[in-house]
Structure 1
């Protein structure tokens, strides 16, 4: 069998090593660098060994698998059970998300009132395996993710913030 037809599974460690090297060498926007690398590798990364946390009350588990020693980024593997849904939120830093398994829905919102964090639904998408999305910090990119399928979904997240001391400091809550 020719080598190019063999599926080669990549460890998450390989992704992190390549990501760190790319950020060390590249002067471009980190979000763009991460998104490009994630596009190249998402179909090969094995996240299963990193899905160790139990699901929260919203039906998903957040697993922080790496924080950059220089504080430039954090990497999470998230498992979404059927029916899982986040609260409406934005982020305090750039981020990239890749769908490694299943399908994830994303409702997008626009800010109605900055003072009260009130939003209104503006669009939605469904993203399957291999899809990559990037998000900018608040007030851009206000969204909520969900799994409306009947089987689990798994996503890889990289955020431009150190989550080692406060795993939820990336989120900015919003409401209807």
Structure 2
């Protein structure tokens, strides 16, 4: 069963393993640690979950032919964190973006390619510089916190890719974890 929210996102029925993960993440959040450490600890909780074959329902594994699809699995009532499954069909990608909060991503199925960027400034102008290209296979985890969390993610394989994202924000209320988007640097346009 699903329930629509004010932002139009749907929070779907979740599996028992997601329910267990919610309890574990809640315990980390309640410690009140800095964002980078919180993301690291939540990432450690996500690693074993990525090997769970029945983690998602059939509905939560569905993609969209027009854009990657976001399935909200949980939004904590106090707004402190959300869990989302992103389903990527071949070739789908995000814009270059940063985030409103700390974030942990884990590849559940398929493979994602990520390009990370640094924002360089001379005090008057700013520009993006590609910093690192990473290929994330199943089980790969990334944990980060703003600032300095600028990247683009895409499904670079020929099959569907699914990743689990935990954000330190209420994605149902916000509608997205993206704080702002960036124009691609020269040569990537």
Structure 2: stretches of 5+ with no match in the other structure: 1-14
**2:7 paired residue number:** none
Structure-2 change in CA distance of 1:171 and 1:48 (3 Å): farther
On the 8 A contact 2:17/2:49 being kept in 1, the answer is: no
- Counterparts of 1:162 and 1:90 in 2: how far apart (Å)? 16
1:128 maps to 2:140: no
**2:92 paired residue number:** 84
Q: Choose from 77, 96, 110 the match for 2:104.
A: 96
On the 8 A contact 1:53/1:62 being kept in 2, the answer is: no
Structure-2 change in CA distance of 1:90 and 1:159 (3 Å): same
1:137 maps to 2:137: no
- Cα deviation 1:61-115 (Å, max 9, x = unaligned): 0112211112111111000100011000011211000000011100111113487
TM-score (structure 2 length as normaliser):
0.77
**2:25 paired residue number:** 19
The alpha-carbon deviation at position 125 of structure 1 amounts to 0.7
- Which SS does the other structure have where 1:130 is aligned? coil
- Cα deviation 1:17-48 (Å, max 9, x = unaligned): 22223433x45432122111012322116124
Structure-2 change in CA distance of 1:30 and 1:39 (3 Å): same
- Counterparts of 1:115 and 1:50 in 2: how far apart (Å)? 48
How many positions carry a matched residue from both structures? 165
On the 8 A contact 2:72/2:84 being kept in 1, the answer is: yes
**2:50 paired residue number:** 42
- Cα deviation 1:124-165 (Å, max 9, x = unaligned): 010100010012113x12100001111001000001111222
On the 8 A contact 1:161/1:170 being kept in 2, the answer is: no
**2:38 paired residue number:** 30
- Which SS does the other structure have where 1:165 is aligned? helix
Q: Choose from 65, 72, 75 the match for 2:80.
A: 72
On the 8 A contact 1:50/1:77 being kept in 2, the answer is: no
- Counterparts of 1:127 and 1:93 in 2: how far apart (Å)? 21
Structure 1: stretches of 5+ with no match in the other structure: 1-8
RMSD value, Cα: 2.4
Structure-2 change in CA distance of 1:147 and 1:54 (3 Å): closer
